[in-house]
A = this chain, B = another copy of it.
């Protein structure tokens, strides 16, 4: 290979510092998932194609990475599709497996497959990579981690209350104070559709309303009319254009607006339960807000819808989202299994924590001390000490070669190792170690116990 090697577009190598920072975020999420009673599962990177295909719409099907069958795959290829050079139709006869596209469908598959071993309600979390053949762009990758927590097997709204608390707890632990947890309810959106007498225009309506901030009330109304929503309908939902105040006030407004819709009122009651309890239990640093334009995965969620916005002042899309889906496992034949869950957007959280300078310095700490190598007998003496330091939990290492001392110090510097330990003939004969602070330049002579205490 003549040219310098590279990696596929949309994928990433992670350096030691990047892995350490990513791990810090993952570990914070994970430990709080567990504090909230969620248990980890892991599923295979690839699933049988039939498990994934058809679950994410046509666009999703296209974005799923397919794995070519091993061996003489053309022997079983569909001859008609092969001769017609019809890539789309040929695929299923030369590829039986595909890389997972998200963690939700594999979770649903897991629940159905293992339903007899699972104790319900099942609170599971899963932190694994997923793959999408999306066009790579800033912040969008072809391989990325999802961090999901879901409860399946209970319709209790206390789950929603706890999931808002979970967002608050994790983001507070990361120092990301002031995130906004936006909440809505699919039943509210359906109720609005009912009220305006246009259930088929729900998406158009929501998309237009979502632009209120950008194009103003007149702009939104203009777009709605262009999409075929009547003036009369718009009048009915006039309160949404000046939708503000506290959550209680917003709920009161919705209650008036949706009085005629049974489903809408059900949504109002759910929202009220969740918001009241979240408010009374209190949030540490997050802000709960009711956002009636929120409609992530509209065809998917059936109850609560969540989305988390980064703290004000940080330009970033949503850093988390989720909701309630009443029929999670129906696609695999297990009915009446309600689920509710949330997801943390690792890559975006990383960017926000980085931008705000919130990664603790210790996260990327490498070894605490580099022992300078003056030759084999000195190295042996050093390794005796290093062994004991490591047994006390101290990260320490020996420069492997008897290189020029300046080069060894430079190595410590480039690796951000804060201390060098010098062991020459003098130290060996006096059973001591010269510890040099590489930031201050200060150097002290210590016995092993003193060295250990200085580095702990």
Contact = CB atoms under 8 A, between A and B. Distances in A.
Interface string A63-98: 101111011111101000010011110110011110
A314 interface: no
Contact of A281 (B35, B151, B384): B384
A13 B114 contact: yes
Interface in A48-70: 48, 50-51, 62-63, 65-68, 70
Given A8-B47, A46-B8, A394-B35, A70 B74 contact: no
Given A45-B131, A66-B68, A82-B82, A169 B37 contact: no
A37 B395 contact: yes
A425 interface: no
A440 interface: no
Contacts of A400: 121, 151, 154, 156, 158-159
A236 interface: no
Interface string A350-374: 0000000000000000110000010
Given A65-B67, A68-B94, A43 B119 contact: no
A16 interface: yes
A36 B397 contact: yes
A23 B40 contact: yes
A129 B114 CA distance: 23
A332 interface: yes
Interface residue SS majority, chain A: mixed
Most chain B CB inside 10 Å of its own CB: which residue of A282, A366, A397: A397
Nearest to A81: B74
A129 B45 CA distance: 9
A43 B95 contact: no
B68 A42 contact: no
- Which of A1, A373, A411 has most B Cβ within 10 Å? A1
A374 to B, nearest CB: 12
Contacts of A214: none
A68 B401 CA distance: 46
A99 to B, nearest CB: 8
A71 B88 CA distance: 8
A162 interface: yes
A58 to B, nearest CB: 13
Contacts of A12: 44
Most B CB within 10 A of own CB, among A36, A72, A119, A400: A400
Nearest to A126: B19
Contacts of A40: 16, 19-20, 23
18 contacts: A2-B333, A5-B48, A8-B47, A8-B96, A11-B46, A13-B114, A62-B70, A66-B67, A67-B67, A68-B95, A72-B87, A82-B82, A121-B411, A158-B398, A158-B400, A162-B398, A165-B387, A280-B380
Interface of A: 1-2, 4-8, 11-16, 19-20, 23, 34-37, 39-48, 50-51, 62-63, 65-68, 70-75, 77, 82, 85-88, 90-91, 94-97, 99, 109-110, 112-114, 117, 119, 121, 123-124, 129, 131, 133, 143, 151, 154-156, 158-159, 161-162, 165, 169, 277, 280-282, 331-333, 366-367, 373, 379-380, 383-384, 387, 390, 393-401, 411, 414-415
